[in-house]
Chain A
Amino acid sequence: NAGVMQNPRHLVRRRGQEARLRCSPMKGHSHVYWYRQLPEEGLKFMVYLQKENIIDESGMPKERFSAEFPKEGPSILRIQQVVRGDSAAYFCASSSQTGIHEQYFGPGTRLTVT
Chain B
Amino acid sequence: RKEVEQDPGPFNVPEGATVAFNCTYSNSASQSFFWYRQDCRKEPKLLMSVYSSGNEDGRFTAQLNRASQYISLLIRDSKLSDSATYLCVVNRGSGYSTLTFGKGTMLLVSP
B99-A45 in contact (CB<8A): yes
Q: Complex: how many Å from CA A89 to CA B46?
A: 18
CB < 8 Å A-B pair total: 53
B43-A42 in contact (CB<8A): no
Q: Give every chain A residue within 8 A of B42 (Cβ-Cβ).
A: 107-108
Give the residues from 83 to 103 in chain B that come closer than 8 angstroms, CB to CB, to chain A: 87, 91-92, 96-103
B43-A107 in contact (CB<8A): yes
A42-B46 in contact (CB<8A): no
User: What mask results when residues 29 to 61 of chain B are scored 1 for a CB within 8 Å of chain A, else 0?
Assistant: 000101000000111111001000000000000
* Stretch of A13-21, A61-69, A71-79, A97-105 with 4 or more beta carbons under 8 angstroms from chain B: A97-105
Q: Give every chain B residue within 8 A of A54 (Cβ-Cβ).
A: none
- Considering the complex, give the chain A residue whose CB is closest to the CB of B88: A42
Q: Complex: how many Å from CA A55 to CA B101?
A: 19
> Which B positions have Cβ atoms within 8 angstroms of A?
32, 34, 41-46, 49, 87, 91-92, 96-104
13 CB contacts below 8 A, A to B, read: A31-B97, A42-B101, A43-B101, A48-B97, A48-B98, A56-B97, A101-B32, A101-B91, A102-B46, A103-B46, A105-B43, A106-B43, A107-B42
